[in-house]
């Protein structure tokens, strides 16, 4: 029981650090010189550690999440492996179409 109390109620992470916007409220343009993607092993580890806990997962940060070509698959993995989690996503919609 004590372990559950120590686990975060909210986890925010990003699967990459790319963005195609220039929002004045975002520090992105000042902090991102190196562009890259999260290793699959780290993503898997996050999902494993979260497991079936009831927490909020926010899989984006200072980026446009849908610039990750596998983002929809990652969202599906979160839903399947962390089914008790709520998921929050914010996007500028620039990479979404009717199918997505």
CB 66 within 8 A of CB 52: no
Q: Find the mean pLDDT for residues 92-99.
A: 84
pLDDT value of residue 26: 76
Query: Tens of pLDDT along 55-74?
Result: 999 999 878 999 999 999 99
Residue with more model confidence, 6 or 34: 6
pLDDT value of residue 20: 86
CB 21 within 8 A of CB 92: yes
DSSP class of 23:
-
> Could you state, in order of their start, the residue ranges of all structural domains in the chain?
6-87
CB 63 within 8 A of CB 23: no
């Amino acid at each position: 029981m004590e372990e559950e109390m120590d686990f975060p109620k909210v986890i925010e992470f990003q699967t990459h650090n790319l963005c195609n916007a220039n929002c004045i409220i975002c520090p992105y343009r000042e902090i991102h010189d190196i562009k890259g993607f999260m290793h699959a092993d780290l993503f898997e580890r996050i999902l494993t550690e979260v497991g079936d806990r009831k927490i909020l997962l926010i899989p984006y940060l200072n980026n446009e999440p849908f610039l990750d070509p596998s983002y929809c698959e990652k969202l599906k993995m979160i839903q399947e492996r962390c089914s008790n989690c709520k998921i929050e996503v914010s996007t500028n919609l620039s990479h979404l179409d009717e199918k997505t």
